[in-house]
Amino acid sequence: MGGTVSTQHSYDVAILRIDNPPVNALGLEVVDDLGAALAAASDDPAVRAIVVMGAGRTFVAGADIKALEGLAWGDMSGAPDMHDLFQRLEDSRKPVVMALHGTALGGGLELAMAGHYRVASADARLGQPEVNLGLIPGAEGTQRLPRLVGVQKALDMCISGRPISARDALDAGLIDGIIEGDLADGAVARARELAASPSHPRTRDRRDRLPPAATLPAMLEAGRALAAKVHRHRDAPLVAVDAIEAAATLPFDQGCRVERDLFFRVAGSDQAKALIYAFFAERAVAKVPGVPKDSSAPIASVAIIGAGTMGGGIAMACANAGLHVALIDTTQPLLDQGLATIARNYDASVARGRLTAADVGERLGRISAHSGSEPVASADLVIEAAFEDMAVKQAIFTRVGREAKPGAILATNTSTLDIDAIAAASGRPADVIGLHFFSPAHVMRLVEIVRGAGTAPATVAAALTLAKRLSKVGVVVGNAFGFVGNRLMLPYMYEAQFLVEEGATPAQVDRVLTDFGMAMGIFAVDDLAGLDVAWRVRQAHPPFPPGQRQPLVADVLCEMGRLGQKTKAGWYRYAAGRTPEPDAEVLTLIESRARDAGIERRTVTDEEISDRLILTLVNEGARALEDAVARRAADIDVIYLTGYGFPAFRGGPMFYADQRGLNDVSRRIREFHARHGARWRPAPLLERLAREGSTFREFDAQRA
Ligand code: 3H9
């Protein structure tokens, strides 16, 4: 028998156990081995029923995404055809019970639906997440799921990609029972009961859950509207609706042929390439040479110094993950204010139905407030989230360095300051690391993990483990101004300001960016963050050297008190709520400042806006790689996808550049250099890769 499936007998039941760590993904070998194990169990006269389950922590979490990556790039050799196996499972005269635990996702759920019966442990999760990879279910999922749960629920699951709980699956008819206690024993008992039945239900024969023809069009229309809304600009969710339509209107085999054609149409698309790349890039960031994979330092208690917006958000992120948090600030009123903000944020989650009042009670119960620094001594992790001022931070670290227990991790949440200077004050730089959370810290997934010159590998490992524990993505970056994210963001922001000085409007720039797929336009982002944030940064770090063009308007807006949403006016005005409205006063100000500076006003095309902004990110990204502040192009992409609203279906700025072709990117940057001067000097790394006909992906691969 093959190596990925083992057979074990319990009474007269054969248990076929899929063992392909880490997540039992279905690749060619598993499909072959399962087919062989099924044949043997079918032929064995002592076997009256069959159970299929997963070894280790999960059932099957999907088709092997590595093989699907090959497929996306034109290599068909690794992608299994599961149709035969599924047909044989369904045609088995002995009942096949699928026993699910952990996750049954994508091809895993498709496999489960090919069995006659499905049982699951109470904590199992089931879903068709293919859209997250730019795909649709391609192993009969779009044909079987509507037959089991109806078109409406199938649309919801295939469009959102979100898994459902075992309880939901039971209510929806996707599984037949929940097993409390040992899953294998429960599944075997069920299989033995069923062995006596003369025949077993085949999903493919069912039509009872499919809707009458008259109600179908409205459901599909609602599905397409939902797909366009939740996955703006993405093709796969809409294609999934087409495949489900085929399930409702065609016999099973014909529906499967439609699904197959549609699957192959999306599987080779740029969107699938980008999203699959993003899936692996997000997981690769945790693999840092020289840093142990798993941290041996368990973190259970955290002391957070500073109860402001950042400290409060970090406290929530930690409490949500089950950590005990001591929130420290200098006075009781500051602590009260911080706790009130935390309570308000939690109330909003309850109002939105994301948490129950009991969940919130539990989480708040893990946060205690302190006006003295006593909790520092016992904390496994100390996070300083005080005012962004070197003297303040150094004073805190001098004290923390003395008071924290040996082996504790000492983190600073600075966004602009030098980690080494902060670490020096602590007297124990090996323990010190930057944790650059993004606001709101309980929501945003990105944490830049800033490694100082003296940071120990074990400290980096602990920070990576913490990020995962907080359900965040930690990316290790070097200690240089702006780290990686803001280093790229600042020139992008200034380029947008130059564009409006030349004749574009903030609304046009923001529209071009959201059309490109960015979550928000840069002027709307600036207004949301507060214009004073970048203003303070500009005062400490002028954007461009003297003699180069400087942005003309942002400082003036700040001086006018137009600080963004919080003052109801910034680049836009906010007459009612948070919706930005173009403001004639700002347009006049931009025009007059530009005229005074002798800038010729002209029509700026959407294409120029898009290129000047996105290629600014690419060029600066290449420089960050040259300087080794970013380790890999994929790290930059993950930072932009998880922290800056860059569209996942484009894979990130560096992947976008690869897809466009570095030759074309470099040609365009040289044009901008000729027209706009020094700030557009092409990054030598980009020029070299373009000359060699290479890509950032190859650059990463060579470094790995
Ligand atoms: C599909 O099924 C298409 C079908 O319709 C059929 C078409 C013909 N394949 O995330 P983690 C690896 S599309 C290969 O850190 P967690 C992952 O790279 C697929 N590898 O763990 C990582 O490797 P490494 C539909 C996979 O506990 C390791 O497993 N399914 C796969 O936080 C651990 O992953 C999905 O989209 C895979 N399918 O989360 C599910 N899945 O250690 C995708 C994981 O070397 N997977 N790996 O870095 C997930 O959502 C999460 O991995 C899961 C576990 C929730 C399962």
- Average pLDDT score over residue span 538-548: 88
- Average pLDDT score over residue span 325-353: 95
pLDDT at 152: 97
Taking the centre of ligand 1 as the mean of its atom positions, its distance from the CA of residue 21, in whole angstroms, is 11
Contact indicator for 630, 636 with CB cutoff of 8 Å: yes
Question: Which amino acids bring their CB within 6 angstroms of ligand 1?
Answer: 22-23, 25, 61-66, 68, 103, 105-107, 110, 129-130, 133, 135, 137-139, 141, 283
pLDDT digits (tens, 9 = 90+) for 667-690: 999 999 999 999 999 999 999 999
Spatial distance between the Cα atoms of 251 and 400, rounded to a whole number of angstroms: 69
587 Cβ partners below 8 Å, 6+ apart?
Answer: 505
The pTM of the full predicted model, rounded to 2 decimals, is 0.96
Closest Cα to atom 11 of ligand 1: 283
Closest Cα to atom 30 of ligand 1: 62
Give the atom of ligand 1 at the shortest distance from the alpha carbon of 66.
14
Q: Is the pLDDT of residue 339 over 90?
A: yes
318 Cβ partners below 8 Å, 6+ apart?
Answer: 302, 304, 325, 366, 470
pLDDT at 577: 87
Spatial distance between the Cα atoms of 585 and 589, rounded to a whole number of angstroms: 6
Contact indicator for 464, 476 with CB cutoff of 8 Å: yes
Q: Which residues on neighbouring strands pair with residue 569, listed in sequence order?
A: 564, 573
The helix (run of H) or strand (run of E) holding residue 267 is helix 252-267
Taking the centre of ligand 1 as the mean of its atom positions, its distance from the CA of residue 54, in whole angstroms, is 14
142 Cβ partners below 8 Å, 6+ apart?
Answer: 136, 154, 158, 240, 243, 244, 246, 247, 255, 259
User: Which position among 29, 69, 90, 130 bears the catalytic label?
Assistant: 130
pLDDT digits (tens, 9 = 90+) for 341-392: 999 999 999 999 999 999 999 999 999 999 999 999 999 999 999 988 899 9
Is 626 one of the catalytic residues? no
Spatial distance between the Cα atoms of 365 and 403, rounded to a whole number of angstroms: 25
Q: Does residue 128 or residue 546 have the better pLDDT?
A: 128
Contact indicator for 27, 64 with CB cutoff of 8 Å: yes
Q: Is the pLDDT of residue 68 over 90?
A: yes
Share of the chain above pLDDT 70, in %: 100
pLDDT digits (tens, 9 = 90+) for 76-131: 888 888 999 999 999 999 999 999 999 999 999 999 999 999 999 999 999 999 99
pLDDT at 1: 54
Tokens found for residue 120? 């699951």
Angle of CA points 30, 36, 37, to nearest 5°: 85
Spatial distance between the Cα atoms of 475 and 17, rounded to a whole number of angstroms: 36
Spatial distance between the Cα atoms of 560 and 569, rounded to a whole number of angstroms: 10
> What is the chain's alpha carbon radius of gyration, rounded to the nearest angstrom?
28
Taking the centre of ligand 1 as the mean of its atom positions, its distance from the CA of residue 151, in whole angstroms, is 26
171 Cβ partners below 8 Å, 6+ apart?
Answer: none
- Where do the H-state alpha helices sit in 352-387? 357-365
Query: In 3-state terms, what secondary structure has residue 483?
Result: coil
How would residue 659 be classed by pLDDT, with cut points 50, 70 and 90?
very high
Give the atom of ligand 1 at the shortest distance from the alpha carbon of 287.
48
Q: Is the pLDDT of residue 449 over 60?
A: yes
Spatial distance between the Cα atoms of 151 and 650, rounded to a whole number of angstroms: 30
Among 65, 66, 110, 111, say which to mutate for ligand 1: greatest number of ligand atoms within 8 Å of CB.
Answer: 65
Sheet strand arrangement including 381-384: 367-370, 324-328, 301-305, 381-384, 409-412, 432-437, 446-451, 473-478
Is 140 one of the catalytic residues? no
Spatial distance between the Cα atoms of 671 and 663, rounded to a whole number of angstroms: 12
Share of the chain above pLDDT 90, in %: 94
pLDDT digits (tens, 9 = 90+) for 579-589: 999 999 999 99
- Average pLDDT score over residue span 233-257: 98
CA separation, residue 573 to residues 494, 497, 502, 507, 527 (Å)? 20, 17, 21, 12, 9
- Average pLDDT score over residue span 237-256: 98
Average predicted confidence (pLDDT) for the chain: 96
